[in-house]
């Protein structure tokens, strides 16, 4: 049953991808824009379809009719796109014709297909990504159950952007697997876009190698499978936007300018750091267009695609980039403790040294304090990027590619100091690096050619090994070899604590909530409020200094239960302990649970006490 469910979800993802392509190709037909390569046309169509779908759901949000809205958005894609079915079918056959391919190309194509198949299956495992369990998926579920409105108790929910609408669409249709599959689709399309960029710069065989290298990069296969984060969609939009910009010199059409801006806006709307990349895309477009009139079309497309998350945040908080500018827009609502914590965890309060800053364009920046797959890009860009200097040609594609790559990388290094935010520009950097490698392979340097090929092979083998080590349990769970509950107990952080709270409050049939301090709340099946001030804007240590303030808070938020696991957060522990000592918080149940210590991949766990306390209401 698990395998059938996974196959069914992946089949639905394939149907959704077809709808995106049909709709997007219809937009291209209307705007009279076309690439000479059929695969590039299909990918541009998919990108336009995805961005439009996300924008439609952003409008649906204001109605609160999520399930009806998702169905209506899908119907729009179908109705508009169906006239393009025959033409898209012809372009698809032309793009994937295997006749006259060399044996090495066919072998590489088979390897890419196998990796994509395994990654698709791995993405069907139950959700275990840390950030996804904290806010990517809980925010979408909150929208479905509570309606359109802010959740100040999970401050990261305000960081959810355009691409998060895909998660919401999957959950609205009743399938967590479908939501995960839609994130996997972004990675698949990003690999194809990477191959398209390489194909313009080098022989076709290198396009297949680059796609394989992209898929086997640890941060990529983590994003595509178990992370539960939609950032990988940005890695699809950026290379397609670069292709649009590079084509504008030869096709100076208003439609092409709009679509380039449309994709840049989607990047800006997906994540705050995407604004840096969107600015780099705008700069590259202006350099190629040399026309402020064309730039106005570019910005028009950007606003249509990417304004929605900022408008939402402004509507809720008066701060379009909440919480980072709230001290300017709404200083009376600042929670300084939580703001400082968010700045620290997003890297916005850190500043790169000059030496580290120059490691960002080479994807060699690494945070030793937070090691893991989520920030490891592998060394191919570091090794082959110097060859870009030799392979560079003064063409629109090379100019746009290098300008966006370097400007975005340095901008992200200056603004966030977190290398994993480089993922959207990784495809174009990898494409340029493989163009440099292709140049080297055609040179007379025999030793260097052999060494470079060996480097690629070693990196691919290590990437494949890392994939199987990291994803073996996810693959087992997706095909039914490992049960859902067993898999979640093994891989999902805080899962035993969640099980305890669900069991303890299962008999309670009231809307009263539980205040919890553990981070990973997606699997909670009871009404709850997240209370750790490191991530909860609604819990301000400055305003909750006394037991009396806490009792008022419990009454206002309809909190009946408090879950201590194992201790209260230090910043608010004092008054809560006083409430417990005075009998206003009464322990009613407790249990020993185990959870991870350090990185989950290390598998180290320790036991701790979790206590459920009842609030004695005196108000």
Kindly indicate the confidence band of residue 446, based on its pLDDT and cuts at 50, 70 and 90. low
Give the structural domain span for 604.
493-615
C-alpha torsion 406→408→413→415, nearest 10? 150
d(C-alpha 468, C-alpha 533), whole Å: 37
Domain boundary among 455, 470, 485: 470
Would 322 be classed as within a structural domain? Answer: yes
Identify whether residues 465 and 498 lie together within a single domain: no
Identify whether residues 55 and 98 lie together within a single domain: yes
Would 486 be classed as within a structural domain? Answer: no
Ranking 123-127, 385-389, 534-538 by mean pLDDT, the lowest is: 385-389
**For residue 444, what pLDDT is reported?**
65
> Encoding tokens for residue 29?
């037909």
- Asked whether the bond before 549 is cis by omega within 30 degrees of 0, the reply is no
Candidates 66, 65, 35; CA nearest to 48 is 35
Identify whether residues 366 and 237 lie together within a single domain: yes
Sheet with 605-615: list strands edge to edge.
Answer: 528-530, 513-516, 559-564, 605-615, 585-596
Q: Assess whether pLDDT exceeds 60 at residue 314.
A: yes
| DSSP labels, 106-153 | HHHHHHHHHHHHHHHHHTTSPP--HHIIIIIHHHHHHHHHH-SS--TT
Would 565 be classed as within a structural domain? Answer: yes
Q: Assess whether pLDDT exceeds 60 at residue 373.
A: no
Quick: pLDDT tens for 327-340: 887 777 889 999 99
d(C-alpha 83, C-alpha 34), whole Å: 17
Does 368 or 124 have the greater pLDDT score?
Answer: 124
**For residue 374, what pLDDT is reported?**
56
Identify whether residues 516 and 463 lie together within a single domain: no
Would 427 be classed as within a structural domain? Answer: yes
**For residue 199, what pLDDT is reported?**
95
Average pLDDT, the chain: 92
Q: Are 439 and 252 in contact (CB under 8 A)?
A: no
Contacts of 288 (CB under 8 A, 6+ apart): 245, 246, 248, 249, 396, 399, 400
Burial (CB < 10 A; 0-12, 13-18, 19+), residue 311, is middle
Identify whether residues 209 and 331 lie together within a single domain: yes
Would 485 be classed as within a structural domain? Answer: no
Identify whether residues 522 and 391 lie together within a single domain: no
Identify whether residues 276 and 378 lie together within a single domain: yes
Would 477 be classed as within a structural domain? Answer: no
d(C-alpha 573, C-alpha 138), whole Å: 26
| pTM tops 0.85, yes or no | yes
Identify whether residues 461 and 497 lie together within a single domain: no
549-554 long-range contacts, Cβ below 8 Å, gap at least 24?
549/575, 550/575, 550/576, 550/579, 551/579, 551/584, 551/615, 551/618, 551/619, 552/619, 554/515, 554/615, 554/617
Identify whether residues 466 and 497 lie together within a single domain: no
Region at 59 (left for phi over 0; alpha for psi -120 to 50; beta for the rest):
alpha
Percent of the chain at pLDDT exceeding 90: 78
Identify whether residues 356 and 503 lie together within a single domain: no
Would 237 be classed as within a structural domain? Answer: yes
The mean pLDDT of 36-40, rounded to a whole number, is: 93
The number of distinct structural domains making up the chain is 2
Give the strand pairing for 605-615 and 559-564: antiparallel
d(C-alpha 518, C-alpha 405), whole Å: 38
Q: Are 263 and 305 in contact (CB under 8 A)?
A: yes
Identify whether residues 54 and 163 lie together within a single domain: yes
Instruction: Supply the CATH number for residue 534's domain.
Output: 3.40.190
Identify whether residues 430 and 516 lie together within a single domain: no
CB neighbours of residue 235 within 10 Å? 28
Most confident range (mean pLDDT) of 409-423, 556-570, 603-617 is: 556-570
Helix (H) or strand (E) holding 560: strand 559-564
d(C-alpha 531, C-alpha 517), whole Å: 5
Contacts of 244 (CB under 8 A, 6+ apart): 44, 256, 259, 260, 263
Would 349 be classed as within a structural domain? Answer: yes
């Amino acid at each position: 049953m698990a395998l059938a469910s996974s196959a069914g979800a992946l089949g639905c993802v394939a149907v959704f991808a077809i709808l995106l392509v049909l709709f997007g190709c219809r937009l291209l037909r209307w705007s009279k824009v076309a690439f000479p390569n059929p695969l590039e046309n299909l990918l541009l169509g998919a990108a336009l379809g995805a961005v439009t779908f996300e924008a439609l759901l952003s409008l649906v949000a204001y109605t609160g009719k999520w399930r009806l809205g998702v169905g209506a958005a899908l119907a729009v894609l179908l109705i508009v796109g169906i006239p393009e079915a025959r033409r898209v079918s012809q372009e698809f056959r032309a793009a994937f014709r295997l006749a006259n391919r060399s044996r090495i190309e066919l072998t590489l194509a088979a390897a890419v297909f196998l990796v994509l198949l395994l990654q698709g299956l791995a993405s069907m495992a139950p959700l275990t990504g840390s950030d996804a369990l904290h806010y990517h998926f809980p925010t979408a579920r909150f929208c479905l159950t509570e309606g359109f409105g802010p959740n100040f108790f999970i401050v990261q929910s305000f960081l959810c952007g355009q691409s998060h609408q895909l998660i919401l669409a999957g959950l609205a249709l009743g399938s967590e697997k479908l939501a995960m599959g839609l994130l996997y689709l972004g990675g698949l399309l990003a690999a194809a876009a990477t191959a398209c960029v390489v194909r313009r710069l080098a022989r076709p065989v290198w396009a297949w190698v680059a796609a394989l290298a992209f898929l086997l990069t640890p941060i990529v296969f983590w994003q595509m499978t178990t992370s539960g984060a939609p950032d990988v969609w940005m890695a699809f939009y950026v290379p397609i936007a670069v292709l649009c910009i590079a084509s504008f010199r030869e096709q100076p059409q208003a439609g092409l300018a709009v679509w380039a801006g449309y994709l840049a806006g989607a990047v800006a709307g997906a994540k705050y750091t995407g604004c840096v990349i969107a600015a780099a895309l705008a700069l590259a477009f202006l350099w190629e267009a040399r026309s402020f009139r064309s730039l106005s079309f570019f910005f028009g497309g950007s606003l249509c695609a990417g304004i929605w998350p900022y408008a939402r945040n402004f509507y809720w908080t008066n701060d379009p980039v909440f919480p980072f500018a709230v001290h300017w827009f709404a200083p009376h609502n600042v929670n300084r403790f939580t703001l400082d914590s968010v700045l620290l965890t997003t890297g916005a309060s850190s500043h790169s040294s000059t030496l580290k800053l120059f490691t960002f364009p080479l994807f060699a920046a690494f945070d030793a304090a937070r090691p893991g797959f989520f920030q490891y890009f592998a060394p191919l860009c570091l090794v082959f990027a110097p060859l870009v200097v030799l392979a560079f040609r003064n063409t629109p594609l090379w100019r746009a590619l290098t300008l966006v790559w370097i400007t975005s990388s340095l901008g992200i290094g200056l603004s966030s100091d977190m290398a994993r935010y480089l993922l959207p520009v990784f495809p174009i950097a990898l494409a340029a690096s493989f163009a440099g490698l292709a140049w080297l392979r055609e040179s007379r340097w025999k030793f260097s050619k052999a060494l470079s090929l060996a480097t690629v092979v070693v990196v691919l083998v290590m990437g494949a090994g890392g994939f199987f080590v990291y994803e073996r349990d996810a693959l087992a769970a997706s095909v039914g070899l490992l049960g859902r509950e067993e898999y979640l107990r093994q891989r999902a952080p805080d899962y035993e604590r969640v099980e305890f709270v669900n069991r303890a409050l299962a008999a309670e049939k009231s809307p009263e909530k539980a205040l919890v301090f553990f981070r990973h709340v997606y699997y909670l099946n009871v009404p709850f409020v997240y209370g750790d001030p490191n991530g909860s804007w609604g819990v301000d240590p400055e305003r909750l200094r006394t037991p009396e303030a806490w009792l008022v808070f419990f009454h206002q938020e309809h909190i009946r239960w408090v879950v201590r696991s194992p201790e209260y957060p230090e910043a608010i522990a004092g008054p809560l302990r006083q409430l417990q000592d005075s009998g206003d918080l009464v322990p009613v149940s407790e249990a020993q649970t185990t959870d991870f210590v350090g990185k989950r991949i290390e598998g180290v766990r320790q036991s701790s006490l979790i206590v459920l306390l009842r609030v004695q209401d005196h108000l």
